[in-house]
Each structure stands twice: as structure tokens, then as C-alpha cells.
Amino acid sequence: MSNFLGSLRAVLWAAIGLGGRRADADQRVNHQSLPLVLAIAFVLVVGLIAGLVGVAHLAAGA
């Protein structure tokens, strides 16, 4: 579970853009598995897109 939370933290920090120093960002990502980081990022992007489509659907009144 710790590996998952570390990967989630790395993805969220990268998405927000508040990574701080480059060395800190590299250290966060180096300890995580790349497939897990990519999977988390993919799920978050799909969720974001689905949320935006849902909001647009509600705003259109349909």
C-alpha cells in the first residue's frame, strides 16, 4: 500500500506542478514503479475528463 500512496503522491505533485526542487521531484519518482505511476495518471486523467463532461452536460441542461 505504501508503494501505491507514494506513486499517487508523485502523480498529484506532478499534476499540480508544485514539485519544488528538481532533485526532490526526481527522488519521488525514482522510488516508484513506472507502470503504477502511469496507471494512476491515466485513471486520474480519465476521471478529470469524465467530470468535465458531466459538468458540461449539467450546464447544458440535458
Asked if pLDDT for residue 53 goes beyond 60, the answer is: yes
Q: What pLDDT, on the 0 to 100 scale, is given for residue 29?
A: 62
Q: What pLDDT, on the 0 to 100 scale, is given for residue 5?
A: 82
Query: pTM (2 decimals)?
Result: 0.70
Averaged pLDDT, 30-51: 87
Asked if pLDDT for residue 57 goes beyond 80, the answer is: yes
Q: What pLDDT, on the 0 to 100 scale, is given for residue 59?
A: 94
Cβ atoms within 10 Å, residue 35: 9
The pLDDT-based confidence of 16 (bands split at 50, 70, 90) is confident
How far is the C-alpha of 47 from the C-alpha of 23, rounded, in Å? 29
